């Protein structure tokens, strides 16, 4: 796979990122997370009487919205690091990552 000299990603990785960004934008416009928040407020409002079947339907709607969001949007707290064989990455257990040289013949 050819890599762009500017971003270090393969064409497949760039296309995946473009699709993820477009899907993230589409889901954001649907405001699924806001809908879940609104449902939580409705269920938690002690001044409003809700029938049990309505509560169940609201809970199901919230769960479906969250599953959709979680399925298509990666956890943004996680970061993937892809090392270059010519300049491998090394974690030093202090929260930083450094580049180190490794001889390919040593494996």
pLDDT band at 22 (very low <50, low <70, confident <90, very high): confident
Beta carbons within 8 Å of 26's beta carbon, 6+ residues apart: none
The yes-or-no verdict on residue 84 having pLDDT over 60 is: yes
Q: What is the pLDDT of residue 25?
A: 83
Q: What is the pLDDT of residue 90?
A: 61
| Residue 94 vs residue 56, higher pLDDT | 56
Q: Which two tokens stand for residue 76?
A: 């943004």
Compute the C-alpha angle 24/56/66, nearest 5°: 15
| Residue 40 vs residue 104, higher pLDDT | 40
Q: CA-CA distance, 76 to 19, in Å (whole number)?
A: 15
Positive/negative CA dihedral, 83, 85, 89, 90:
positive
Q: CA-CA distance, 11 to 4, in Å (whole number)?
A: 8
Mean pLDDT of 4-11: 68
In this predicted model, what pLDDT tens digit does every residue of 35-76 receive, in sequence order? Answer: 999 999 999 999 999 999 999 999 999 999 888 888 766 565
């Amino acid at each position: 796979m050819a890599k762009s000299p500017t971003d270090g990603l393969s064409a497949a990785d760039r296309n995946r990122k473009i699709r993820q960004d477009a899907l993230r934008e589409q889901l954001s416009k649907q405001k699924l997370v806001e809908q879940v928040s609104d449902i939580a407020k409705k269920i938690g409002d002690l001044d409003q009487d809700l029938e049990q079947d309505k509560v169940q339907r609201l809970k199901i709607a919230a769960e479906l919205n969250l599953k959709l969001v979680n399925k298509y949007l990666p956890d943004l707290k996680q970061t993937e690091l892809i090392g270059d064989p010519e300049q491998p990455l090394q974690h030093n257990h202090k929260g930083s990552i450094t580049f180190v040289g490794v001889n390919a013949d040593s494996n």
